Structure 1
Amino acid sequence: MALFNLGHEPEVVATEQRPMNFVPASKHFKRRGSLRELDAAIQRLKQDPQPFEVVLDDRRVAARPLTVEGRLHGLWYWSSRADVEMHEPPPAGAWVIDLTTYTALGSAEWAEMADIPNEVRGQERHVAAMFAQVDTSTGKEAHALSLIEAKPIGAPFQAEWIVRRTDESRWRSLFHLRIQGVERNGGVHRVALGLSQNIGELDRMSRRRTLEDVMHVGLRAAREPGEYVALMSAKKLALIRWLTDPSPEIAWLGVAHEATPAIHPDDIDEARRILHVGTSDWGSLSEGTVRVMGVDNRWVHVRARAERVEVENGEEAVAVRVFVPVTSLPGEIT
């Protein structure tokens, strides 16, 4: 059973639980006629994205599509002798991260795997909501963030991250993406088209905490009331991810039941000064106060302290400490 990522040519990214590094189908298959079978399966799924299984002479061919927004991201594909019993592949799902709008949307399979709250399933959410749910692998987060900020169309990425469900159970996610130009929401956007598969459950008590775990706990704990830490784009006035628990006062998810995330129009220049201009010099810190949209559709005055950080290969982002008035609870924001 092989998992394919679809681009100009189908690429094998996994066989069952073994990752493969974007191997072109033409290099993976050696049997005469196998590429023709695969292409026929892909064309069938593009016309009717439903799982199928057929027996052709002495061979069994089966495929399961992985789609988002009606777009075929990949498929599980099986081709064998007809007398070989087909078995279940690991759970897998498809998703899209729009690098133009900083939003993400997963398939129904991904929502089930990641235990996305029912009330926001099928909705685009801010990309920070995705980062809030994963423990990124050592040495890989910087590369992922550099993809978000700068990597060109065609750039691939593959890694293993840990996904946490709402009950705190965790599983290993092997994911594969490629940046492409896709027509979405009235324009051509730079997006990451991806696939994820569950390659194993993790017992919550089965491992020692790593130094990185301890550092994250310290970051979350050693703060004054109303203080939060976020990573923001150095090029856009946009949240990338929360480095602490998210602020419950600030709108950031971008879902239907919450106010639209925004900086007050009159404070855009000040926000640009704090995040971009004031952090441009090496080692400089920048501070100021701006109004941002609260969860109950009122403006919240927040104090921000920002510094530029290196992500990877010269790409940069901004680490921002956000101080929200303790009295700015939902329903009390002024």
Structure 2
Amino acid sequence: MKSKPDAAAPQRNVDAGAQPWMLVETLHQDRATLVSLGGRLREMSSLPRAVRSTVGGRSSAQVWAEVARSIDVVREHAASRDVTIPTGSGRTRVVLHPVVGPSGAVHGIALWVGDAESAVPQRPEDALAVTFESERRAFVVDADCLRALATDLPSDIRTSFTSPEVFRKIDVDDAVGAIGALLQPAPDDGATWTGLASTTHLPGVSRLDLVFTADDDGSTWRGLVHAVESETVAQPRLETAAFAALGQVSPQMALVLMDVTHNRLIRWLTDPVPQIQWKGIVDDRDTPHPDDVTRIFAAASGMYAGTETSTSVDGIRLRRIGGGWTVVDARAALLPREKSSPRLMLVQMTVVGHTDDPDPVPVDDTGHPSLLD
């Protein structure tokens, strides 16, 4: 039996009007903007204005100064912070929890600011720090951050995912815009792409907001993905709609968008060729047989140089899950692009057979270098 509360003890005010949690993106060292307020989308809006609006009155500037100072501390130490400061005739509490990326950098901060006598509402676990590695064309997450969002995950959970895996789980409203931004050859320091996406693979979540910012050398993009309450569905660009239509009218074809420079799969437009051990899922070996890799890169070199707009390679052996090879004929066409955009090609794969040729590639092989090397 629970004892009655001490009448003399101060009681926490748990009311429906309690201040909501904010989510702040801290993807660039010189920036901290508001992306969510109480689960509602805020498109990188002013954080000082949001804090001052929350506090109000003469103490708002004082509270913002503490919030700014606390954000710097959390960024430096990647640890939670809880501080209470006197404000006027009362006290204001500032609570911060970092959203940490795979390299240990703080990609975002969950922030609560309110009356120190009020109960802090339960913090939503709805944000994930992500890093996109440009060279590998892979999305990487922190295992602990992933476990905070999903229960019953295995101890040997994967933390690196290929682009096709991600784009099959998350339907980005402007997929072409996202791909064009993340694959651009030399993004400026602080270059940022934001967009909305839908998913049916996260219980209770239908809409996601994605924010990605390039680091200073362009080798990685730091990202923050979080659930939002939004009914907005952006009208897809013409190219995005065309890709979706291709997948719908040609279900018998395996169509995929590929990066010319690295010969990496980016996004399947139909179901993929089945039972293939794609590069980056189990290990980093190239998926095709090494003899066929040489032929593929030779064929793609003309499109990379701009001297050809299409090519074909027949008899490509793709490594099967469990051993052996699936043989496909491939036809590729270069997509139109602006000067600073990545070179992308649309590839059609047709299964023509299977073979049990021996696999000469050791499992620790990292594959053929890109056309840049």
TM surpasses 0.5: yes
- The alignment partner of 1:31 has SS state of helix
Amino acid at match of 1:60: R
- Could you tell me which residue of structure 2 aligns to residue 97 of structure 1? 132
Q: List gaps (5 residues or longer) in structure 2.
A: 1-21, 53-59, 232-237, 358-373
* Equivalent residue, structure 2, for 1:302: 328
Partner SS for 1:246: coil
Aligned residues: 313
Is the contact made by 1:251 and 1:260 (CA closer than 8 Å) also made in structure 2? no
| Amino acid corresponding to residue 219 of structure 1 in structure 2 | G
How many percent of aligned residue pairs carry the same amino acid? 16
More displaced 10-residue stretch of structure 1: 278-287 or 73-82: 278-287
Unaligned segments of structure 1, at least 5 residues: 183-188, 203-210
Select which of 201, 216, 219 maps to 1:165: 201
Against the structure 1 CA distance between its residues 125 and 304, is the aligned structure 2 distance closer, same or farther, given a 3 Å change threshold? same
Matched with 2:41 is: 18
Alignment of 1:223-234 (within 5 A): 223-224=251-252, 227-234=253-260
Paired residues of 1:250 and 1:294 also in contact (CA < 8 A): yes
State the shift of 1:259 in Å: 7.6
CA distance change for structure 1 residues 148 and 215 in 2, over 3 Å: closer, same or farther? closer
Q: Aligned residue for 1:317?
A: 344
Aligned-pair RMSD on alpha carbons?
3.9
Within 5 Å, which residues of 2 pair with 1:46-57? Answer: 46-47=76-77, 49=79, 51-57=80-86
Correspondence for 1:40:
70
State whether structure 2 residue 247 is matched by structure 1 residue 219: yes
Indicate whether 1:265 and 2:277 are aligned: no
Matched residue of 1:97: which SS? strand
Candidates 112, 117, 120, aligned match of 1:83: 117
* Shift in Å, 1:254: 2.0
Residue 267 of structure 2 aligns with which residue? 241
Say which of 179, 188, 206 aligns to 1:152.
188
1:311–1:170 CA distance, 2 compared to 1 (3 A): farther
Q: Which moved more, 1:57-66 or 1:263-272?
A: 263-272
What is the Cα deviation at residue 288 of structure 1? 1.2
- CA deviation after TM superposition for structure 1 residue 62, in Å: 0.5
CA offsets per residue over residues 226-271 of structure 1, 9 Å max, x none? Answer: x411111122221112121222232226234x68343333333421
Per the alignment, residue 137 of structure 1 pairs with: 173
In the alignment, does 2:34 pair up with 1:8? no
Work out the CA distance in 2 between the residues paired with 1:77 and 1:146.
Answer: 29
2:210 corresponds to which letter in structure 1? Answer: F
Contact persistence 1:174–1:198 (CA under 8 A): yes
Question: SS in structure 2 opposite 1:53?
Answer: strand
Of 268-277 and 124-133, the range deviating more from structure 2:
268-277
Q: Contact between 1:94 and 1:196, CA under 8 Å: does it hold in 2?
A: yes
Q: Is the 8 A contact 2:99 2:109 kept in 1?
A: yes
Computing the radius of gyration from Cα coordinates, the structure with the larger value is 2
Q: 1:310 to 1:287 in 2, by over 3 A?
A: same
- Assess, with a 3 A threshold, how the Cα gap between structure 1 residues 3 and 116 changes in structure 2: closer, same or farther: farther
The 2-side partners of 1:165 and 1:320 are apart by 27
TM-score when normalising by structure 2: 0.69
Give 2:223's match in structure 1, choosing from 194, 214, 231: 194
Alpha-carbon distance in 2 for matches of 1:248, 1:113: 30
Give, in whole Å, the separation in 2 of the partners of 1:268 and 1:36: 57
Amino acid at match of 1:160: L
Partner of 2:10: none
In 2, Cα distance between equivalents of 1:314 and 1:116: 43
By percentage of residues, which structure has more strand?
Answer: 1
